[in-house]
Amino acid sequence: MSNNQQSNHPKSNIWRDVRFWRFAGQFLAVFIAAIVVAILWGNLNRNLQQLGIQPGFSFLNSQAAFDIGETLISYAPSDTYSRALLVGFVNSLRVMVAGIILTTIVGITAGIARLSDNWLVRKLALVYVEIFRNTPLLLQLLFWYFAVFLTLPKVENPISLLGFIRLSQNGLELPWIQFSPEFSTLLIGITLYTGAFIAEIVRGGIQSVSRGQWEAAASLGLKPGLAMRLVIFPQALRVIIPPLTSQYLNLAKNSSLAVAIGYPDIYLVASTTFNQTGRAVEVMLLIMTIYLTISLIISLVMNLFNKSVQLKER
Amino acid sequence: MRKWCLVLLTTLPVLFSLVACGGPPSSNPATSRLDTVKSRGKLICGVSGELPGFSFVSSDGKYAGLDVDVCRAIASAIFDNPDAVEFRNLNAKERFTAVQTGEVDILSRNTSWTLSRDTSVGLEFAPVMFYDGQAIMVKKDSDIKSLADLKGKAICTQTGTTNEQNLGDQMRKLGIPYKPVVFEDINTTFATYAEGRCQGVTSDRSQLLSRRATLPQPQNHIILDAVLSKEPLAPAVANGDSKWFDVVKWSIYTLINAEELGINSKNIAQFANSKDPEVTRFLGKEGNLGEGLGLSNDFAVRIIKNVGNYGEIYDRYLGPKTPFNLPRGQNNLWTKGGLQYSPPFR
Ligand SMILES: N[C@@H](CCC(=O)N[C@@H](CS)C(=O)NCC(=O)O)C(=O)O
In a domain, A3, yes or no: no
The verdict on A205 and A155 lying in the same domain is: yes
Do residues B316 and B323 make contact, with C-beta atoms less than 8 angstroms apart?
no
Closest by CA to B104, choosing from B185, B43, B48, is B43
In a domain, A7, yes or no: no
pLDDT value at residue A159: 87
Please work out whether the CB of residue B167 comes within 6 Å of at least one atom of ligand 1: no
Asked whether the predicted pLDDT for residue B67 surpasses 70, the reply is: yes
Using N-to-C axis directions, what is the helix angle for A181-208 and A81-113, rounded to 10°? 40
Q: Supply the range of the domain harboring residue A37.
A: 18-55
Q: Rounded to an integer, what distance in angstroms lies between the CA atom of residue A271 and that of residue B54?
A: 25
Asked whether the predicted pLDDT for residue A173 surpasses 90, the reply is: no
Scanning B60-99 for CB atoms below 8 A from A yields 92-93, 96-97
Going by alpha carbons, the residue nearest to atom 16 of ligand 1 is B91
**Residue among B96, B156, B192 whose CB faces A278 most closely:** B96
At B210, is the pLDDT very low, low, confident or very high (cuts 50, 70, 90)?
very high
| Mean pLDDT of chain B, nearest integer | 91
Q: Rounded to an integer, what distance in angstroms lies between the CA atom of residue A247 and that of residue A242?
A: 9
pLDDT value at residue A157: 81
Contact B100 A50 (CB under 8 A): no
Among A55, A80, A101, identify where a domain stops: A55
pLDDT value at residue B27: 41
Do residues A140 and A132 make contact, with C-beta atoms less than 8 angstroms apart?
yes
Please work out whether the CB of residue B204 comes within 6 Å of at least one atom of ligand 1: yes
Do residues A185 and A261 make contact, with C-beta atoms less than 8 angstroms apart?
yes
Do residues B99 and B126 make contact, with C-beta atoms less than 8 angstroms apart?
no
In a domain, A13, yes or no: no
What's CA A48's distance to the chain center, in Å? 33
Among A39, A55, A71, identify where a domain stops: A55
For residue A7, the one-letter residue type is: S
B36 in contact with A at a CB cutoff of 8 Å? no
A268 in contact with B at a CB cutoff of 8 Å? yes
Scanning A154-183 for CB atoms below 8 A from B yields 154, 169-170, 181-182
Chain A partners of B119 at a C-beta cutoff of 8 Å? 52
B188 in contact with A at a CB cutoff of 8 Å? yes
Strand partners, A160: A166
Please work out whether the CB of residue B163 comes within 6 Å of at least one atom of ligand 1: yes
Scanning B122-151 for CB atoms below 8 A from A yields 122
- Least CA distance to B94: which residue of chain A? A275
**Residue among A45, A67, A271 whose CB faces B180 most closely:** A67
The verdict on A50 and A191 lying in the same domain is: no
CATH no., domain B132-231: 3.40.190.10
Q: Rounded to an integer, what distance in angstroms lies between the CA atom of residue B236 and that of residue B258?
A: 22
Asked whether the predicted pLDDT for residue B26 surpasses 60, the reply is: no
ipTM over 0.90: no
The verdict on A22 and A121 lying in the same domain is: no
Exposed e or buried b for every residue in B6-19, given b needs 16+ CB within 10 A? eebeeeeeeebeeb
- pTM of the predicted protein model: 0.85
A280 in contact with B at a CB cutoff of 8 Å? yes
pLDDT value at residue A263: 96
CA–centroid distance, B29 to ligand 1, in Å, is 34
What does the pLDDT average to over B51-55?
A: 95
| Residue A72 backbone phi and psi in degrees, to 5 | -90, -25
The verdict on A172 and A44 lying in the same domain is: no
- Best of B55, B96, B110 to mutate for ligand 1, by most ligand atoms within 8 A of CB? B110
Chain B partners of A146 at a C-beta cutoff of 8 Å? 191-192, 195
What does the pLDDT average to over A250-263?
A: 96
pLDDT value at residue A10: 56
- Least CA distance to A37: which residue of chain B? B20
At A92, is the pLDDT very low, low, confident or very high (cuts 50, 70, 90)?
very high
CA–centroid distance, B97 to ligand 1, in Å, is 15
The verdict on A43 and A79 lying in the same domain is: no
CA–centroid distance, B161 to ligand 1, in Å, is 6
The verdict on A150 and A245 lying in the same domain is: yes
Going by alpha carbons, the residue nearest to atom 6 of ligand 1 is B92
pLDDT digits (tens, 9 = 90+) for A117-129: 999 999 999 999 9
What does the pLDDT average to over B62-80?
A: 97
B12 in contact with A at a CB cutoff of 8 Å? yes
The verdict on A131 and A160 lying in the same domain is: yes
A77 in contact with B at a CB cutoff of 8 Å? yes
For residue B152, the one-letter residue type is: G
Domain boundaries, chain B: 33-129+234-335, 132-231
Do residues B289 and B296 make contact, with C-beta atoms less than 8 angstroms apart?
no
End-to-end CA distance of chain B: 75
Q: Which of B184, B189, B244 to mutate to probe the A interface, most A CBs <10 Å?
A: B184
The CATH number given to whatever domain includes residue A304 is 1.10.3720.10
Contact B159 A268 (CB under 8 A): yes
Asked whether the predicted pLDDT for residue B13 surpasses 90, the reply is: no
**Residue among B156, B160, B238 whose CB faces A275 most closely:** B160
At B4, is the pLDDT very low, low, confident or very high (cuts 50, 70, 90)?
low
Q: Rounded to an integer, what distance in angstroms lies between the CA atom of residue A103 and that of residue A188?
A: 9
Overall number of domains in chain A = 2
Please work out whether the CB of residue B186 comes within 6 Å of at least one atom of ligand 1: yes
Q: Rounded to an integer, what distance in angstroms lies between the CA atom of residue B315 and that of residue A157?
A: 46
For residue A47, the one-letter residue type is: N
For residue B330, the one-letter residue type is: Q
CA–centroid distance, A52 to ligand 1, in Å, is 25
In a domain, A71, yes or no: yes
Whether B33-129+234-335 shares its CATH topology with B132-231 is answered yes
Q: Rounded to an integer, what distance in angstroms lies between the CA atom of residue A271 and that of residue B159?
A: 8
CA dist list (Å): B300 to B44, B245, B308, B309: 21, 16, 10, 10
A126 in contact with B at a CB cutoff of 8 Å? no
The verdict on A129 and A272 lying in the same domain is: yes
Contact A24 B120 (CB under 8 A): no
Dihedral, B143, B144, B149, B151 alpha carbons, nearest 10: 100
The verdict on A44 and A157 lying in the same domain is: no
pLDDT value at residue B237: 97
Do residues A69 and B181 make contact, with C-beta atoms less than 8 angstroms apart?
yes
Q: Rounded to an integer, what distance in angstroms lies between the CA atom of residue B92 and that of residue B77?
A: 28
CB burial of residue A85 (10 Å; 0-12, 13-18, 19+): buried
Asked whether the predicted pLDDT for residue B18 surpasses 60, the reply is: no
CA dist list (Å): B331 to B70, B166, B186: 15, 22, 25
Dihedral, B82, B86, B92, B96 alpha carbons, nearest 10: -100
pLDDT value at residue A101: 97
pLDDT value at residue B53: 95
Q: Rounded to an integer, what distance in angstroms lies between the CA atom of residue A97 and that of residue A297?
A: 12
pLDDT value at residue A265: 96
Closest by CA to B97, choosing from A61, A269, A266, A277, is A277
pLDDT value at residue A170: 86
Which atom of ligand 1 lies closest to the CA of B162?
20
The verdict on A143 and A281 lying in the same domain is: yes
Q: How many CB pairs below 8 Å do chains A and B form together?
A: 144
Architecture of domain B33-129+234-335: 3-Layer(aba) Sandwich (3.40)
pLDDT value at residue A311: 75
Do residues B106 and B45 make contact, with C-beta atoms less than 8 angstroms apart?
yes
- Rg, chain B, Cα only: 24
Closest by CA to A254, choosing from A297, A194, A206, is A194
pLDDT value at residue A49: 79
At B22, is the pLDDT very low, low, confident or very high (cuts 50, 70, 90)?
very low
Chain A partners of B165 at a C-beta cutoff of 8 Å? 65-66, 77, 276
The verdict on A50 and A73 lying in the same domain is: no
pLDDT value at residue B5: 55
Alpha-helix residue ranges (DSSP H) falling in chain A: 2-8, 18-50, 81-113, 119-133, 137-142, 181-208, 211-219, 224-227, 233-254, 266-277, 280-309
Closest by CA to B312, choosing from B270, B259, B268, B272, is B259
Q: Give the 3-state DSSP-derived string for chain B, with helices as H, strands as E and coil as C.
A: CHHHHHHHHHHHHHHHHHHHHCCCCCCCCCCCHHHHHHHHCCEEEEECCEECCCEEECCCCCEECHHHHHHHHHHHHHHCCCCCEEEEECCCCCHHHHHHCCCCCEECCCCECCHHHHCCCCEEECCCCEEEEEEEEEECCCCCCCHHHHCCCEEEEECCCHHHHHHHHHHHHHCCCCEEEEECCHHHHHHHHHHCCCCEEEEEHHHHHHHHCCCCCHHHEEECCCCCCEEEECCEEECCCHHHHHHHHHHHHHHHHHHHCCCCCCCHHHHHHCCCHHHHHHCCCCCCHHHHHCCCCCHHHHHHHHHCCHHHHHHHHHCCCCCCCCCCHHHCEHHHCCCECCCCCC
Residue A148: count of CB within 10 angstroms of its CB: 13
The verdict on A153 and A34 lying in the same domain is: no
B167 in contact with A at a CB cutoff of 8 Å? yes
Chain A partners of B116 at a C-beta cutoff of 8 Å? 276-278
Q: Which of A66, A151, A266 to mutate to probe the B interface, most B CBs <10 Å?
A: A66
